[in-house]
Amino acid sequence: MASSNSDFSPSQPVVGPAASFVANLPKRYALDRLFLVAAWVAMLIAMAVLGWLLLDVLDQGLGRLNWQFLTSFPSRRASNAGIIGALAGTFWVMIIVAVVSFPVGVGAGLYLEEFSSDNWFTRFIEINISNLAGVPSIIYGLLGLAAFVRLMEPITGGRSVLAGALTLALLVLPIIIVATREALRAVPDSIRMAGLAMGGTRWQVVAAHVMPAAISGILTGVILALSRAIGETAPLITIGALTFVPFTPGCTEEFPYFNPLDLLRCPAEVLQSPFTVMPIQIFNWISRPQPAFHENAAAAIIVLMVMLVMMNSLAIWLRNRFQRRRE
């Protein structure tokens, strides 16, 4: 009885839940401003770090970036070294990753979205794919080492372009599958209904009507997946890509050492060749003690980042086209 009275007695200081009813507005607004400032600061820190990184890389690397650097093989002398081997390796690996992961990823997306009924098996595949997306990339490297380098050695030729590309293709499959499914889901059902009503089979409807509507969304996803693959280092180190490669895959001996036709002329010399890629070359140069190699690393980072920006711009352009058409 006494305690319930004291709760409402004005002489007592207000405590507990009642405290929040005190309209101490100046203090509360001050806290609000503080919070907003903190949010701004967090945002600015993230941006400032990115700016710092980019400026530092440009500062270190621009001086080293010249034609000789782009067209030379690696060397023990930092000033003679170049990235042509890594560039050719990256091109080849990316081509094969695209050739393998595009049909497989899109096919899997089509199956899940267009051809399957909602049963336990489909759900199992879905859960499985979202789990695969969370597996660290270095684990894919271990899989590649055991499966592609060792088990399939007669086909891949060991630590080769093909083994590396297959490993990366598995790594980016979940990205492509998810993107494909989202693009397919964005296609209105009325288009499917209309096609089916005209007597088309599901595949005819998908191939003639759904895919053309979804293709730019799918391609956006594929490019984003490739831009993830192009920067991946860990899985390729694990499968044993070389760090010093004074040659390029394929049978083109003269500049620019890279000819897509090699894939038809001498597929084994391309696919089974040892290789290096840009991120591994960068890793190798960073881990050397001499500062001159660090400048090489910065210059190679600039090249890699330019490639990434170009790929992302293409993806954004495709996405915008896609969005405009839907409106």
User: Do residues 85 and 247 lie in contact, with contact meaning Cβ atoms separated by under 8 Å?
Assistant: yes
Measured CA distances, 248 to 164, 171, 253, 294 (Å): 15, 24, 8, 23
Preceding omega of 256 cis (within 30 degrees of 0):
yes
The window from 66-74, 89-97, 128-136, 259-267 that contacts other proteins (CB under 8 A) reads: 128-136
Q: How far apart are CA 140 and CA 27, in angstroms?
A: 54
Query: Using CB under 8 A as the criterion, what x/- string covers residues 161-180 for binding other proteins?
Result: ---------x--xx--x---
Which 3-state string (H, E, C) describes 23-51?
A: CCHHHHHHHHHHHHHHHHHHHHHHHHHHH
Length, in residues, of the chain: 327
From candidates 18, 22, 49, 292, binder to other proteins by CB under 8 A: 49
How far apart, in whole angstroms, are the C-alpha atoms of residue 169 and residue 153? 18
Q: How far is the CB of 174 from other proteins (least distance, A)?
A: 7
50 contributes a contact to other proteins by CB under 8 A: yes
Question: Is residue 291 packed enough to be buried (19+ CB in 10 Å), middle (13-18) or exposed (0-12)?
Answer: exposed
Among 71, 72, 259, 312, binds other proteins (CB under 8 A): 312
Can you tell me which of 19, 22, 45, 194 binds other proteins, judged by CB under 8 A?
45
How near is the Cβ of 4 to other proteins at its closest, in Å?
25
d(CA 320, CA 172): 23
Site for other proteins (CB under 8 A): which residue of 69, 73, 283, 322?
283
CB of 146 to other proteins, least distance (A): 4
We find the least distance from the C-beta atom of residue 138 to other proteins, in angstroms, to be 5
Q: Rule CB under 8 A: is residue 293 a binding residue for other proteins?
A: no
Nearest approach, Cβ of residue 109 and other proteins (Å): 8
Give the nearer residue to other proteins in terms of CB position, either 23 or 264. Answer: 23
Provide the angle, in degrees to the nearest 10, between the axes of the packed helices 291-326 and 278-286: 150
Candidate residues 18, 19, 47, 268; the one interacting with other proteins per rule CB under 8 A = 47
Q: Which is nearer to other proteins, 115 or 317 (CB)?
A: 115
323 is a contact residue toward other proteins (CB under 8 A): no
Residues 222-241 that bind other proteins (CB under 8 A): 227, 230-234, 237-240
Taking Cα atoms as reference points, which of 304, 256, 292 lies closest to residue 64?
Answer: 292
317 scored as a contact of other proteins (CB under 8 A): no
Residue 135 binds other proteins, judged by CB under 8 A: yes
Q: Least separation, in Å, of the C-beta of 222 and other proteins? A: 14
CA atoms of 302 and 281, how far apart (whole Å):
13
The total of other beta-carbon atoms located within 10 Å of residue 152's CB is 16
35 is a site residue for other proteins (CB under 8 A): yes
195 binds other proteins (CB under 8 A): no
Distance CA 178, CA 176 (A): 6
Spatial distance between the Cα atoms of 30 and 36, rounded to a whole number of angstroms: 10
> Binding to other proteins by residue 112, rule CB under 8 A?
yes
57 binds other proteins (CB under 8 A): yes
Which residue type does 187 have? V
Q: Cα Rg for the chain, rounded, in angstroms? A: 28
244 near other proteins, judged by CB under 8 A: no
